[in-house]
Chain A
Amino acid sequence: EAGVTQFPSHSVIEKGQTVTLRCDPISGHDNLYWYRRVMGKEIKFLLHFVKESKQDESGMPNNRFLAERTGGTYSTLKVQPAELEDSGVYFCASSQGLHYEQYFGPGTRLTVT
């Protein structure tokens, strides 16, 4: 069974540019989560999809971040325009239910210069 995949693995962009991160969850997992780890600190929750619906977006830092999950399969996280403080590692995770463990992807390392 394929795990959670994320693309790209690494992105370097300039301040003010736009970046789109993609996550493909494990097949059949309705729950999809985005997290990020900034500057070696703790991993922080961004948002949670159940199928195509946003269940919880309390962790989204501001309106420069837009997440979508059209069709309830893969998800994208767009940062527009990117700021220096957006640099970090963005993780995606999926689970088969609300009371199951979350399986994480390898992460996308975003560097904003």
Chain B
Amino acid sequence: AQSVAQPEDQVNVAEGNPLTVKCTYSVSGNPYLFWYVQYPNRGLQFLLKYITGDNLVKGSYGFEAEFNKSQTSFHLKKPSALVSDSALYFCAVRDMWGASKLTFGTGTRLQVTL
């Protein structure tokens, strides 16, 4: 079985500061990893993915994520947070050669303040 843990229900950061949203995963084979963001009253929006290759993945809106196989982590990062980044962030995983369904974490609410 595959699983995702997002240990923080909420992350608070001041605008201009770096942000990190944590994600750890468990999957039997090689992972495909994803980050999605949900803005208020909107659907899930794809941010970035790790399939293979470089451990640092760059995505939309200046976000990036670092794949760490030994720590089974895929933390989302941004060097300088914006108030407009405030939203709900979901990490998801699937087995590369298994079923294509995604397993999600419970989500982390990011609050960026002035």
- Residue from B96, B101, B107 in contact with A33 in the complex, judged by beta carbons closer than 8 Å: B101
Contact B51 A99 (CB under 8 A): yes
B11 to chain A, nearest CB (A): 17
Chain A proximity of B110: nearest CB distance (Å): 16
Among residues of A, the one whose C-beta sits closest to the C-beta of B106 is A42
Whether A41 lies near B106 (C-beta < 8 A) is yes
Distance (whole angstroms) from the CB of A94 to the closest CB of chain B: 12
Given A41-B106, A99-B51, A104-B36, verify A91-B43 contact (CB < 8 Å).
yes
Total interface residues on A, CB under 8 Å, equals 27
B residues near A59, Cβ cutoff 8 Å: 101
With an 8 Å Cβ cutoff, the count of chain B residues facing the other chain is 23
- In the assembled complex, A2 has its CB within 8 A of some CB on chain B: no
Q: Would you call A4 an interface residue if the criterion is a C-beta within 8 Å of the partner chain's C-beta atoms?
A: yes
Chain A nearest CB, measured from B105 CB (Å) = 6
- Are A104 and B106 also in contact (CB < 8 A) when A43-B90, A48-B100, A56-B99 are? no
**Which of A4, A31, A41, A42 is within 8 Å of B43, CB to CB?**
A4
In the complex, chain A residues whose CB is within 8 Å of the CB of B4: 42
Q: Tell whether B44 is near chain A: CB-to-CB under 8 Å.
A: yes
**B-chain residues with CB within 8 Å of residue A99 when the two chains form the complex:** 32, 51, 96, 100
Chain A positions within 8 Å of B, measured between CB atoms, are 4, 6, 31, 33, 35, 41-45, 48, 55-56, 58-59, 91, 93, 95, 98-99, 101-107
